[in-house]
Chain A
Amino acid sequence: MPASARRGLIAAGLLAPAALVFALLFLWPQFGLFLQSLEGPPTYSRFLGDGYYLGVLGNSLLLGVCVTLVTLVLGFPLAFLLARAETRWAGLLLLLTTFPLWVSAVVRSFAWMVLFFRSGVASRLLQGSGLVPPDFQLIGTFAGVVIALAQVLLPIMIVTLYAVIRGIDRDLEHAAMNLGASPAVALWLVTLRLARGGVLAGSLLVFSLSVSAFATPSMIGGARAHFMAVTIYEQTLELLDWPFAAAIAAILLVISLSVALTYGRLLGERAR
């Protein structure tokens, strides 16, 4: 057997389990839903021809971008310091960052609600700063949803970045410094560049999980949570319009994947 054919066979064998799971449990069932979206009155034009729904789509994408940015800005320093820490307790600290994930999203959202009410600690802090009116509350605001959702997803960003930064050869950083670069420049140029794959992976995970999140946006945002996932829940559970819900899901899938893949291209992950 020629080497290339053997390599192809190995690749196929490695991919087969994942392909089987996805073909059977994702493509097939989702295709069934997609067929539903084509039945009855037009669904796609109803969504795409309506400014309100386009706004909902925009909100969801904006939420995804904001949450991704917040988790990146806060997550990178944490992941970097933990990956580079000399202390033997670094592993413990890393696991400490995953604590929010152990508490169910609903319970966590209740905690945020308690902080976000007008008389809650977080809203009080903002009122005290004078940046917002005295009866301001974070409940029911876009900012509130971003803050609460980013906390939930931050551990995912940290863990992903950590895994990649740990794999980066530290000699490369030292080499850059030896070549005359200042530590700061070396850090940015070398580490950030080498961690690009991790930044991409973490961003894609966080972005995807943000646009599909339901519990946190609906509880913190309340009625003012005009997001795709919330609309899909509303159409599926309350209005029982499954064709329309399936169409919204299909639109969300296509648009979000396009955004994610464009981002991946921009980061040039594959070029390394």
Chain B
Amino acid sequence: MPRDGFMSRPLTRRHALASAGLAAATLLPGRAGAQPRFAGREIVATAFGGPSQDLIQRMVYDAVTRETGARGTQTPLLSANAFARMRAEAQAPQIDLFMFSGGQQVPAKAAGLTQKLPEAPNFANVPATLKDADGHWVAWGLVTEGILYRPDKVATPPRSYKDFFKPEFAGHIAFPHITNGYGTDFLVMLARAHGGSESNIGPGFEALKRIAGRANIFRSAAEVQTLFASGDIWIMPYDGASAMRSTAMGIPVAYSVPEEGAPFVLLTGCAARRSRNADIASAVLNRHLDPEVQTAIAREIGWAPVNTATQLPPDVAPFMAPTDRLATLDRDVINASRPAWTERFNREIAR
């Protein structure tokens, strides 16, 4: 397994120099010493809570305040809640910058809830597939999924989604509900492992049905650690960052990249259509994308960098799938099928 992580490339001298001078170069273009460009203004953004919020406050918002004069306030809001709030207060947004982890930026843009973000230097280093062609959203992180397991209870590390059917795991499996994005991806990967696909999901449901009876099906991300800590749960499909967090909390949890490939979700940012602070939002997202910040987020939270100029620290590699092992899912088909799949899941799986 290659030890380098996602979208990384060797740290060059040129890049190191660029990185060092980046903040001054991008946030105060040619106006060092002049009046900060957002003096006295304020931006409100959603956040994913927990340690990530603290880290980002420190490394992103505080830095933006120092460099531009704009104050930044984060409010914790899960992607789904955030999107509901974005929709409900479209006429008079209280929040300028919305962060999503469940792909909500796509329906948000389609519903006319977003606006074009002013260009920022680091956006150019994000691969075209990870940002909106019209500039309405940009990804600033990537979370790779796979199989999480307790190495102290499981002798041979799981290598495939088919390993969930091993008899020794019966009664020790947990998986997320389909309304949790990882639950949907698990269903799709099971379908793929059994000859199906996004557009032929039947085999996925058949497979899920075989393990659902004795599995713990949970809804919220916060439960992952509690489940593993209980000692009853040995294996579940989830993301590498959670394995990293569990390990840091003292629960032995390892991450394995399945041979079928690792699905992933994007962490994206977009500005509310009627927000008057899209320029600050752009500066904030640009700062998220600084290699220095990308590295810190990877190391402390386990979210992979998307700025191709970032050098990935080697110690996070066990919790991230390398680029060539990623599985790209057809999100359009998945989003269109979601209502039908949820109905079927509630009736057939969650019994």
CB–CB under 8 A between A and B in the complex?
A: yes
Which residues of B pack against A, CB within 8 Å? 80-81, 83-84, 87, 107, 171, 177, 179, 216-220, 222-223, 226, 230-232, 338-339, 342-343, 345-347, 349-351
Q: Tell me if A110 counts as interface (CB < 8 A to partner B).
A: yes
Can you pick out 10 interface pairs between chain A and chain B where the beta carbons lie within 8 Å of each other?
A52-B347, A114-B226, A114-B230, A118-B232, A119-B232, A139-B216, A223-B219, A237-B81, A237-B179, A238-B179
Known A119-B230, A222-B219: A52·B80 in contact at CB below 8 Å = no
- Residue contact B217 to A234, C-beta cutoff 8 Å: no
Give residues of chain A (223-250) contacting chain B, Cβ–Cβ below 8 Å.
Answer: 223-226, 234, 236-241
Q: Are B220 and A218 interface neighbours, CB within 8 A?
A: yes
Is A267's beta carbon under 8 Å from chain B? no
Instruction: Considering the complex, give the chain A residue whose CB is closest to the CB of B111.
Output: A240
Is residue A120 within 8 Å, beta carbon to beta carbon, of the partner chain?
Answer: yes
Contact present for B217 and A238 (CB under 8 Å): no
Asked whether A113 lies within 8 Å of B226 as measured between CB atoms, the reply is yes
Pick from A120, A135, A140, A234: contact of B171, CB under 8 Å: A135
Are B350 and A226 closer than 8 Å at their CB atoms? yes
Question: How far apart are the CA atoms of A240 and B88 in the complex, in Å?
Answer: 11
B229 closest partner in A (C-beta): A114
- Bound together, the chains give a CA A231 to CA B216 distance in angstroms of 19
| Most chain A CB inside 10 Å of its own CB: which residue of B107, B343, B350 | B350
A66 at the interface (CB under 8 A from B): no
A47 contacts B by Cβ under 8 Å: no
Residues A234 and B220 in contact in the complex (CB < 8 Å), given A114-B226, A120-B230, A226-B350: no
Chain A, residue nearest B183 (CB): A223
A226-B346 contact in complex given A135-B171, A140-B216, A239-B339, C-beta closer than 8 Å: yes
Q: Does A212 contact B (CB under 8 A)?
A: no
Q: Are B81 and A219 in contact (CB under 8 A)?
A: no
Q: Is the CB of A223 within 8 A of B218?
A: yes
A52 contacts B346, CB within 8 Å?
A: yes
Contact B84 A234 (CB under 8 A): no
Known: A52-B343, A113-B226, A238-B80. 13 other contacts (CB 8 A): A52-B346, A110-B222, A119-B231, A120-B230, A137-B232, A139-B216, A219-B223, A222-B217, A223-B350, A224-B351, A238-B338, A239-B179, A240-B87
User: Once the chains bind, are B338 and A239 in contact (CB under 8 Å)?
Assistant: yes
A117 at interface, CB cutoff 8 A: yes
Choice from B81, B216, B226, B342 contacting A234 with Cβ under 8 Å: B342
**By the criterion CB–CB under 8 Å, are A110 and B226 in contact?**
yes
- A residues less than 8 Å from B230 (CB atoms): 114, 117-120
Q: Bound state CA distance, A139 and B223, in angstroms?
A: 12
Q: Is there an interface contact between B220 and A219, defined as CB atoms closer than 8 Å?
A: yes
A139→B345 CA distance, assembly (Å): 19
A223→B342 contact, CB < 8 A: no
The 0/1 profile, CB within 8 Å of B marked 1, for residues 130-147 of chain A is 000001010110000000
Residues 103-125 of A at the B interface (beta carbon under 8 Å): 110, 113-114, 117-120
Q: Which residues of chain B come closer than 8 Å to A119, judged between CB atoms?
A: 230-232
Residue of A nearest to B175 (CB): A223
Q: Tell whether, in the assembled complex, residue B219 and residue A238 are in contact, meaning their CB atoms are under 8 Å apart.
A: no
Question: Which residue of A is nearest B220, CB measured?
Answer: A219
- Chain A residues, Cβ within 8 Å of B218: 222-223
Asked if A237 and B346 make an inter-chain contact with CB atoms under 8 angstroms apart, the answer reads no
- Complex-state Cα separation, A15 to B350, whole angstroms: 47
